[in-house]
Amino acid sequence: ISVFDHGLLYGDGVFEGIRCYGGKIFKLREHTIRLYNSAKAVYINVPYAQNELERFLLESIRINNIKDGYIRLVVTRGYGDLGLDPRKCPKATVIIIADQIALFPEEVYDKGIRLITSSLRRTPHDTLSPSIKSLNYLNNILARAESIRADAQEAILLNHQGYVTECSGDNIFCIKAGVVMTPPIHAGILPGITRATVIELLRTKMKTTVSETMLTLTDLYSSEEVFLTGTGAEIIGVVEIDRQRIGDGKPGRLTRQIEDAYNQLTQISGANAYDKNPCVA
């Protein structure tokens, strides 16, 4: 990677984090679609066709002999000069890292996670749309650092109107009177692939009402259950927010059911990297 790569110099690029379960890449098509959408939003031309890129991702799993693992797909503006001018970058750089990931310690999945509300606001749509999965993660990292200083494990970011958006690297859900709620995309969130998967599982398999609605901190504090979703994090129950206990202080019953349904789905679906002609969509 060139030291003149604008991904490195300016965070000028986009990325995806993708999981692989039992040799099968979970939600591969959804991830490549989001990557191309992010790239388009920042005028980066991905130098491969989507199915070609999908083949590279499958190959990265195969040649590294990965069964359960994680892929980081990064597309940067490419190398240029030391100025900002994107026209000086002739070709986007594509990086595929096939590795393992453990975002949170194992005990978090048993005992639940503690959150704080960050003093920082989530980057608004009219500054840098949070729907773009860009390499600019300082907003998220500073919020996460704040949570660490406060002896918590994740941070909730509000938008400029004071509504809940998401955490530094995961989407957030709450449950009240059996209704599952999560902020809508226009609150200023990344349209998480795990979020969409969980919404679909709840609506179709678990016959549960899901409402995409603006939420305040008050809504979260008074919820019976709160949980986070993300490719890396998967499903994590929240047991404390701003030092206030959520529910009975343990991951909730519905959260556990969602976790089970999600884990089951990751085992049975996905594009098999070890098949000759894997089904991607």
Residues in touch with ligand PMP (CB under 6 A): 17, 140, 166, 169-171, 190, 192-195, 229-232
Please say which residue, 93 or 182, places its beta carbon nearer to ligand PMP: 182
The answer to whether residue 133 is catalytic is yes
Query: To which H or E segment does residue 39 belong?
Result: helix 28-41
CB 170 to ligand PMP: min, Å: 5
CB 120 to ligand PMP: min, Å: 13
- What distance in Å separates the CA atoms of residue 195 and residue 53, rounded to the nearest whole number? 24
- What distance in Å separates the CA atoms of residue 185 and residue 214, rounded to the nearest whole number? 10
Beta bridge mates, 228 = 172, 236
The structure tokens 């089951």 sit at 264
Q: ∠ at Cα 269 (266, 272), nearest 5°? A: 110
CB 87 to ligand PMP: min, Å: 29
- What distance in Å separates the CA atoms of residue 190 and residue 41, rounded to the nearest whole number? 14
Please say which residue, 77 or 144, places its beta carbon nearer to ligand PMP: 144
Please say which residue, 69 or 192, places its beta carbon nearer to ligand PMP: 192
- What distance in Å separates the CA atoms of residue 138 and residue 141, rounded to the nearest whole number? 5
Q: Which sign, positive or negative, has the C-alpha torsion 177, 229, 29, 184?
A: positive
- What distance in Å separates the CA atoms of residue 270 and residue 146, rounded to the nearest whole number? 36
Q: List Cα–Cα distances, 270 to 19, 77, 229, in angstroms.
A: 10, 29, 18
Q: How is 187-236 classified by DSSP, letter by letter?
A: GT----HHHHHHHHIIIIIS---EEE----HHHHHT-SEEEEEETTTEEE
The structure tokens 């005028």 sit at 43
CB 133 to ligand PMP: min, Å: 7
- What distance in Å separates the CA atoms of residue 199 and residue 182, rounded to the nearest whole number? 9
Please say which residue, 5 or 166, places its beta carbon nearer to ligand PMP: 166
Q: Which amino acid is at 33?
A: I
CB 241 to ligand PMP: min, Å: 17
| Structure tokens belonging to residue 67 | 């069964």
CB 57 to ligand PMP: min, Å: 15
Could you say which of 133, 207, 250, 276 is catalytic? 133
Please say which residue, 27 or 77, places its beta carbon nearer to ligand PMP: 27
Please say which residue, 89 or 271, places its beta carbon nearer to ligand PMP: 271
Q: Which residues does the annotation mark as catalytic?
A: 133
